[in-house]
Amino acid sequence: MKRKHLSKHRGMLILLKTVGISFFFLLLFGSSASAQTMTVSGKVTDETGLPLPGVSILVLGTTTGTVTEADGSYELRVEKGVTLQFSFTGYNSYTVVVGDNGKIDHAMEPSTTALSEVVVTGYSTQRKRDITGAVAVVNAEELNEVAATSFIQKLEGRAAGVTVSTSGEPGEGAVIRIRGISSFQNNDPLYVIDGVPVEDSYSTGFNPNDIESIQVLKDASSASIYGSRANNGVVIVTTKKGKLGKTRVTYDAYVGRQNPINTTDYLISNPLDYSDYIWTKYENAGKTVDASNPYGQGRGKLPTYTFPAGNTADESAYSYPDNIIVKGNPNGTNWFDEVFDPSVLTEHNIGVSGGTENGRYYFSTSYTDNKGTMLNNYFKRMSLRANTEFNVGKRVVLGENLSLSRITSVGNDGVSGGNQDEQGVMTWVTLMNPLTPVYDVGGNFAGDKAPGMSNGSNPIAALTRAKDNKGTFYRILGNTYAELTILDGLKARTSFGVDFYQNYTGGFNFPNFENREFNSSNGWTEDWSNGLTWTWTNTLAFNKTLGSAHALGVMVGYEAIKGNYRNIGGSLANYFSTNINGWYLNTGLADPGSRVVYSGGFTAALASAFAKLDYAYNDKYILSATIRRDGSSNFGNEKYGVFPAVSVGWRVSGESFMQELDFISDLKLRFGWGVTGNQRVPGGNAFDRFGGGPSSTFYDISGQQTGVTTGYALTNRGNADTKWEENVSTNAGLDLSILDGKINFVLDVYKRTVDGLLFPAALPGTAGTAAPAFVNIGKMENKGFDIGLDYKAKVNADLSFDLGLTFSRYQNEIISIDGSSDAFYSSGFDSRIGLVSINRLGYSISSFYGYTADGIFQSEAEVDAHATQDGAEVGRLRFKDIDGFDADGVLTGVPDGKIDDADKGVIGSPHPDFVGGLNLGVNFKNFDLSIFLFTSVGNQIFQYNKLFDTFGLFNSNVRKSVLTDSWSETNTGGSIPKLDIDDTFSQVPSSFYVEDASYVRLKNISIGYTFPKVGNIFSSLRLYVQAQNLLTLTGYSGLDPAPSNFGVQDGLNADQWNGFDFGNYPANKIWMFGLNAAF
């Protein structure tokens, strides 16, 4: 005991010491004293004379400087004769030599082009005007227009060629795809956060308020410097840094109300309507609803009790769970309404930043609480950030970026299979019968328990029981760095980054006696995992202008990355008490025989060397070349890969023949070619791996009945020759800036060909089921173009507006699968109707597969005249005869009068013809308005939900339209097959499930008012109201035309299931009120 106390005490001492030392350093660097100086002060305005706050003023050749206050004023102590540089984004920088006069005012001139901005690209910074690759730059201002928990959601529509999908689930990881899809596996881009590459999607753990800017490297010529992992593009995130000047405190907050989308009445909610539906369905098949069914008393007759079904029950004999009594709800239960309710979301962010000549800092802390519209869902994030940078002498800069975050959440996942899953709330909402009440007569949860009711779970019960099935996620991400200026123009930089995370999930399964498919046992499962990846990056960069014409930049570097991951978990069942305080894996608490434990892990390392050359002649001819050599521990014999890229630019506007076209302020043509790689194969891929477990390879050879004997088998095939996947990409682009930068236009046309695509191509079944090794076998191509156009106009001093348009299109095509197969079916989802998603040569990934539905059989004569079709009858779907098999089972290409597998084919594609975004911003005096519209055209959805909401599988509830739009002798124009309990034949996969899901969505509209100065409290204050997803125009009959990718949680095969709607948590409408204050 004593020892423990001592060591604890010691720990405190060390902590205090550390804090003390930090303060000491802060004081050291924070104090500035110079003997022979003068004070310079003044006021900086914009071209109209309005004060311009935040302009940075730097003593050239030093790091001394300041920024202007809210009223545009500044004050700085400098030595006489130094040169001051005034700079501000969007304005020309201005330099002036300090003479005797200590007062220097300046009116900044808007830059002729925004291209003078400096942006971070691979391992270095570059003037935007010199970029020769395809790079989308999104600044903080644009990001701040939309309030969202993830910065990825904020990127939607901001950068042409970048698509984002998400659901309404709070904090759900959004999925980002850059220029189509390049792999059958993981298509997430590489994130580079303050120089630290992070492979795992870091979207939700990150406080978006900390972001200064985002660059999306879209093509290989820009991304190839990250060669190894750049196949899916690179998203470079730069967080905020302190600026010279006194301490600035900002407070940004919003509070909002989320409303579930207004489609609550799409399902039948009146039990009498349901009675009609079910009776018609039975009678059309020559049957009557069985007496054991609650609706069995006759059409239009509802029982008093649904379980046990009938008009009488002895409620006094009720006991749970042995004698459950459920009274019907004759008014109908609207399960969607029960599950979804408006909810509150809120965020608070405090930022503190500032700096002196010798040190700069940015601290932030934020809290986000997003309660979902689905019962008991929430997402909470707390984060802290500390970015500091110090000058040590004139040649050394030391700094660090550090963020800590903690997320706790309860989502759809904690309930069941998660979003887009049949065992999920969205499907249960459809399945549950309207006659079933939420609670039984004893106040316990009620369910579809009677025969003839659905196999769904009461979603209120499931969500209530899962309210404590919480996930907790910690992440520490940051780096420390040092930069040394060796000579003028020659800089060495070293950065050591760490990405650490720890993830914990626990879930208790309660008995659910109220359901038809009930479970009487309980169980607890918990998983804990952590991972640590460190990245050490060292670069040496040389920048020099030789003479007046030659600008040269050379950079060489190397990088070492090592990561490891470890998880442990287990489960235990049949707890004596379901009390939360007993949710542990201790066998004393439950049935020890049920305990399962497991653990796993992997390690991975990368070692890389890279170089970059930038050369510009006369600012007109620009050449950029990069090369990277990567070594990866993921491979066996072929560990190393080399990834070159080259791009050239021609500033046409710099040529003399262009001088007469003075409305063109800048015109640049770009062309880039490059190779990127992909090394995403599971650890150990080079080796044959053996193993197994009680469920897969053990066997009860001695007939114990409650025990098994150990067995091992080959579980994974290895391939030591697997090597880097190569993505060869070419990009041609045009940057045009006209009318002094009022109009900017960017066009990029590209082609990306992935060769040696890493893919665990299926082996014939005769090889056994050991997981095939990832081999370099497939080939995929993406072609497309991105267009960005913006127009800025200033009507007068009070009114200005800007308009931004993005437009992009890609076409994805599978060129080769394994050299032999023409197609494979998407894996990871077990459809109830057979194969529905195919990846076929010549088509795009995740094409919909099935018959081509060709209307409904209208008459016997039509049935007779049609090709032979299983279950063909009047009122059922008619499928097209397209092809036939020969005797060997090979397609002939000729219809054979028989509807069979030969007639199944690609029936649709989830990939849009194009997507576009429209941003409109208006500033009038102190008001600002922004509107963002997003559209996707030509994307289709395979609406798997029709199996339930239209065909009524498992006696599910159905859409109201089934009552009116089903085919019958009196409604021959009906588009839904005739109601018929025996008609299982119309349910097979066909284009009946496929719908066009083109949509236009008003993603965001916000109006703000900025108070120029509020007393002495705020230096600026902006209040705004914002609405998200206010309006969606679509012909899609499902809940949301933009469903999140199915299987996102599972990561790997997500893109093999694009465009499938398996029950998606729809996006919410959000109203919020917020403020941005600076002190």
Partner 1 sequence: MKNIKFIVLGLVLMGAMIVACSDDFLEAPPQASLDEGTLGNQQGVEASLISAYSMLDGWNDDWGTFSPPWGGAGSNWVWGSVPSDEAYKGSEPGDQLEIQQVELFQWAPGNVYLNVKFRALYEGIARANATINLMKKSANIQEQGRIEGEARFLRAHYHFDAWKIWKNVPYYNETDLDFRKPNTEDIVPRMIEDFQFAIDNLPETQGAVGRATKGAAQAYLGKLYLYTGDFTKAKTQLDAVVNSGKYALLPCFHDVFTQEHENGSEMIFSIQASVNDGTSEGQNGNFADRLRYPNGGGTFSCCGFHQPSQNLVNSHKVDANGLPMISTYNNADAAASDPIDPRVDWTVGRDDVPFLTYGNHSPAWIRARAWAGPYSAKKFIHDPGENAASSWSNQQLSTINTPIIRYADVLLMLAECEVEIGSLERARELVNMVRARAAGCAQGPDGGATNLNDPGITWATYQVGLYNTPWTDKDGARNAVRFERKLELALEGHRFFDLRRWGVAKDVINNEYLAVEKTKRTYLDASGGFEDRHILYPLPSVQIELSKVNGTPQLRQNDGY
Q: Does 584 bind partner 1 (CB under 8 A)?
A: no
Instruction: Pick from 7, 22, 247, 288 the residue near partner 1 by CB under 8 A.
Output: 288
3-state secondary structure 508-540: EECCCCCCCCCCCCCEEEEEEEEEEEEEEEEEE
Residue 288 pairs in a beta bridge with none
Q: Which residues lie closer than 8 Å to 32 by C-beta, 6 or more apart?
A: 356, 357, 358
Q: Does 871 bind partner 1 (CB under 8 A)?
A: yes
> Tokens at residue 175, please?
């999925």
What's the burial of 486, exposed, middle or buried (CB within 10 Å: 0-12/13-18/19+)?
Answer: exposed
Query: Residue 17 to residues 10, 11, 21, 22: CA-CA distances in angstroms?
Result: 10, 10, 6, 8
> Closer to partner 1 at the Cβ: 49 or 828?
828
Beta strand 775-794 pairing with 743-759: antiparallel
Least Cβ distance, residue 569 to partner 1 (angstroms):
11
Helices (H), 759-918: 860-865
Q: Does 684 bind partner 1 (CB under 8 A)?
A: yes
Q: Which residue stretch of 156-164, 252-260, 794-802, 951-959 sits at the interface with partner 1 (rule: CB under 8 A)?
A: 951-959
As a whole number of angstroms, the distance between CA 532 and CA 604 comes to 11
Q: Does 833 bind partner 1 (CB under 8 A)?
A: yes
Least Cβ distance, residue 823 to partner 1 (angstroms):
7
Residue 379 pairs in a beta bridge with 370, 409
Instruction: Pick from 261, 350, 441, 482 the residue near partner 1 by CB under 8 A.
Output: 482
> Closer to partner 1 at the Cβ: 16 or 835?
835
**Rule CB under 8 A: which of 964-1023 touch partner 1?**
981-985, 987-988
What letters, b where the CB count within 10 A reaches 16 and e where it falls short, cover 30-63? Answer: beeeeeeebebebbbbbeeeebbbbbbbbbeeeb
Q: Which residue stretch of 121-129, 171-179, 393-401, 526-534 sits at the interface with partner 1 (rule: CB under 8 A)?
A: 393-401
As a whole number of angstroms, the distance between CA 82 and CA 64 comes to 11
Give the x-and-dash track for 489-528 against partner 1 (CB under 8 A).
Answer: ---x-x--------------------xxxxxxx-------
Q: Nearest CA to 64 among 84, 80, 35, 45?
A: 84
Do residues 1001 and 1021 touch, judged by C-beta distance below 8 A?
Answer: no
Least Cβ distance, residue 141 to partner 1 (angstroms):
35
Q: Does 285 bind partner 1 (CB under 8 A)?
A: yes
Q: Does 451 bind partner 1 (CB under 8 A)?
A: yes
> Closer to partner 1 at the Cβ: 631 or 938?
631
Q: Does 558 bind partner 1 (CB under 8 A)?
A: yes
How many chain residues are in contact with partner 1, going by CB under 8 A?
Answer: 135
Q: Does 290 bind partner 1 (CB under 8 A)?
A: yes
**Rule CB under 8 A: which of 399-428 touch partner 1?**
423
Q: Does 291 bind partner 1 (CB under 8 A)?
A: yes
**Rule CB under 8 A: which of 198-227 touch partner 1?**
none
Least Cβ distance, residue 596 to partner 1 (angstroms):
4
Least Cβ distance, residue 243 to partner 1 (angstroms):
24
3-state secondary structure 182-245: CCCCCCCCEEEECCEEECCCCCCCCCHHHEEEEEEECCHHHHHHHHHHCCCCEEEEEECCCCCE
Instruction: Pick from 768, 842, 1012, 1035 the residue near partner 1 by CB under 8 A.
Output: 768
Instruction: Pick from 35, 103, 319, 393 the residue near partner 1 by CB under 8 A.
Output: 393
Q: Nearest CA to 405 among 366, 377, 370?
A: 366
Instruction: Pick from 83, 93, 270, 594 the residue near partner 1 by CB under 8 A.
Output: 594
As a whole number of angstroms, the distance between CA 879 and CA 852 comes to 6
> Closer to partner 1 at the Cβ: 307 or 810?
307
In what helix (H) or strand (E) does residue 76 lie, and over which residues does it extend?
A: strand 73-78
As a whole number of angstroms, the distance between CA 20 and CA 25 comes to 9
Examine residue 308 and say whether the peptide bond preceding it is cis (omega within 30 degrees of 0): yes
Q: Which residue stretch of 59-67, 215-223, 337-345, 761-769 sits at the interface with partner 1 (rule: CB under 8 A)?
A: 761-769
> Closer to partner 1 at the Cβ: 149 or 533?
533
Least Cβ distance, residue 81 to partner 1 (angstroms):
25
Q: Which residue stretch of 63-71, 284-292, 372-380, 906-914 sits at the interface with partner 1 (rule: CB under 8 A)?
A: 284-292
Q: Does 298 bind partner 1 (CB under 8 A)?
A: no
Give the x-and-dash track for 889-918 against partner 1 (CB under 8 A).
Answer: xx---------xx--x--------------
Distance of CA 185 to the CA centre of its chain: 16
Residue 788 pairs in a beta bridge with 746, 806
> Closer to partner 1 at the Cβ: 300 or 828?
828
Distance of CA 373 to the CA centre of its chain: 19
What letters, b where the CB count within 10 A reaches 16 and e where it falls short, cover 862-893? Answer: ebeebbebeebbbbbbbbbbbbbeeeeeeeee
Least Cβ distance, residue 829 to partner 1 (angstroms):
8
Q: Which residues lie closer than 8 Å to 970 by C-beta, 6 or more apart?
A: none
**Rule CB under 8 A: which of 53-112 touch partner 1?**
none
**Rule CB under 8 A: which of 1019-1048 touch partner 1?**
none
**Rule CB under 8 A: which of 128-157 touch partner 1?**
none
Instruction: Pick from 443, 703, 893, 1015 the residue near partner 1 by CB under 8 A.
Output: 703
Least Cβ distance, residue 531 to partner 1 (angstroms):
13
As a whole number of angstroms, the distance between CA 827 and CA 838 comes to 9
Helices (H), 46-183: 140-143, 151-155
> Closer to partner 1 at the Cβ: 36 or 704?
704
Q: Which residue stretch of 196-204, 698-706, 729-737, 1009-1017 sits at the interface with partner 1 (rule: CB under 8 A)?
A: 698-706
Q: Which residues lie closer than 8 Å to 274 by C-beta, 6 or more apart?
A: 268, 295, 433, 434, 435, 957
Q: Which residue stretch of 22-30, 153-161, 536-544, 908-916 sits at the interface with partner 1 (rule: CB under 8 A)?
A: 536-544
> Closer to partner 1 at the Cβ: 212 or 896?
896
Q: Does 530 bind partner 1 (CB under 8 A)?
A: no
Least Cβ distance, residue 450 to partner 1 (angstroms):
8
Dihedral sign of CA atoms 856, 860, 865, 868 in order: positive
Q: Where are the beta strands (DSSP E) in 639-724?
A: 640-651, 664-678, 689-691, 713-716
Q: Helix, strand, coil proportions of the chain in percent (round to 5)?
A: 15, 45, 40
> Closer to partner 1 at the Cβ: 547 or 703?
703
Q: Does 571 bind partner 1 (CB under 8 A)?
A: yes
Do residues 443 and 423 touch, judged by C-beta distance below 8 A?
Answer: no
Q: Does 696 bind partner 1 (CB under 8 A)?
A: yes
> Closer to partner 1 at the Cβ: 1035 or 1051?
1051
Distance of CA 304 to the CA centre of its chain: 48
Give the x-and-dash track for 233-272 against partner 1 (CB under 8 A).
Answer: ----------------------------------------
Q: Does 562 bind partner 1 (CB under 8 A)?
A: yes
Q: Which residue stretch of 120-128, 402-410, 826-834, 967-975 sits at the interface with partner 1 (rule: CB under 8 A)?
A: 826-834
Give the x-and-dash track for 802-821 against partner 1 (CB under 8 A).
Answer: ------------------xx
Instruction: Pick from 120, 607, 915, 1070 the residue near partner 1 by CB under 8 A.
Output: 607
Q: Does 387 bind partner 1 (CB under 8 A)?
A: no
DSSP 8-state class, residue 1003: E
The string of DSSP letters for 310-342 reads: ES---GGG-BTTTB--EE--TT---HHHHHB--
Provide φ and ψ at 94, rounded to 5°: -135, 135
Residue 563 pairs in a beta bridge with 533, 604
Q: Does 721 bind partner 1 (CB under 8 A)?
A: no
Instruction: Pick from 547, 765, 893, 973 the residue near partner 1 by CB under 8 A.
Output: 765
